[in-house]
Amino acid sequence: MSTDDTVTAQASIVIVSYNHADFIEDCLRTAIAEEPAKIIVVDAGSTDGTIDIVTNGFPEVTLLTPAENGGYGASNNTGVSQIDTEYTVILNPDTKIEPDSLEALLAPLTDDNQLITTPKILTYEGDRINTCGNVDHFTGLGFTRGLHRPPTELSEGQYISGISGACFALRTELYRELSGFDEAIFLYMEDVELSWRAALNGIDILYVPDAVIYHDFEDVAVPAEKIYHVERGRYYILRKHLDTKTVAALLPSLLLTELLTSGYAVLSGIDGVRNKLRAIRDGLTMEINKVQKNPETVLSRLAAEIPENQLTYSRLDQFGKKFANAVYRLNYRLLNV
């Protein structure tokens, strides 16, 4: 059994669920096996029996059922508000934890209180990489890192530009200093925004390959409805973190990204175009909590290129991404960050 001086016994896991009856049992079973101090499930209004599974099968788990679904970020913030342990682990409900992975994920935090760790996340069957942290680009785009590569690859730990919202860990005090997730982002992109805020505050993100999580993940396809949430979040992030001078300096890259995302929306049909236009309207008009710090601090920690093998369906797509990366690299160098 765990003792009070083990790192896992000083950690709490927060899991936000919404109709995850097919996965929540295995998620909680593997999480409990890691022997954390506390597991909190925040259910955002499940109607498929998820709540009954947690209540009847896992009495040791704390279940919170807020009256309203405030979104993924807000629900995680609710969970963390109930934590009094040294460390916090954010975990998706459609995941399983490889034995001893929680200890590996937490170990680097014992020597660095200005650090966030994120694990190697494989597909649920473990046959491919889902993501090894994220690639967060300076135009607000976010990508999975190592997508579809063999599970044995990316075996070296390194500092990266973005966490994966599916699983990451940090000191609870640091989560609160950062004010947790930005609750203005209801769904998707909340991990990208938190990574930008970590960069702004000089906080490193460390990929820990010895910590392995299995995630129900098929592909990075962005359906029409998701286009709205992703693009709305991207506009919000850019408006929150960049000043007018920086936007002007980034204009070639920002316009190119608009071309790429608009092209993807067109390929998704009329619903894709409609959701892209909705995102422009809402993302550029919604209220923001403007960051009053130098944006160059953030940009210096973000990626200068986008992966060329994601959301690519033809040779023309691939050529477009290669051209885009050439422009991105040049624009990024001219920023002198």
Structural domains of the chain sorted by starting position, each given as residue range(s) with its CATH number in brackets:
8-215 (3.90.550.10), 224-335 (no CATH)
pLDDT at 153: 97
Collapsed DSSP state (helix, strand, coil) of residue 279 = helix
Q: Quick one: pLDDT at residue 312?
A: 66
Give the end-to-end CA distance of the chain in Å, rounded to a whole number: 48
SS3 assignment, position 90: strand
> Could you read off the pLDDT tens digit of each residue along the chain, which spans 337 residues?
344 579 999 999 999 999 999 999 999 999 999 999 999 999 999 999 999 999 999 999 999 999 999 999 999 999 999 999 999 999 999 999 999 999 999 999 999 999 999 999 999 999 999 999 999 999 999 999 999 999 999 999 999 999 999 999 999 999 999 999 999 999 999 999 999 999 999 999 999 999 999 999 876 667 788 999 999 999 999 999 999 999 999 999 999 999 999 998 998 999 999 999 999 999 999 999 888 778 999 999 999 999 988 766 677 777 889 999 999 999 999 998 7
CA 41 to CA 24: how far, in whole Å?
10
pLDDT reported for residue 4: 58
What pLDDT score was predicted for residue 220? Answer: 66
Amino acid letter, residue 122: L
Entry field: residues in the chain? 337
Place of tokens 């002198």: 336
Query: What's the token pair of residue 196?
Result: 């930008």
Alpha-carbon torsion angle 213, 26, 116, 81, nearest 10: 170
Count other C-beta atoms under 10 Å from residue 135's C-beta. Answer: 22
In the prediction, which pLDDT does 224 show?
85
pLDDT of residue 280: 98
What values do phi and psi take at 296, rounded to 5? -65, -30
Element (H, E) at 62: strand 62-64
Looking at residue 328, its pLDDT comes to 98
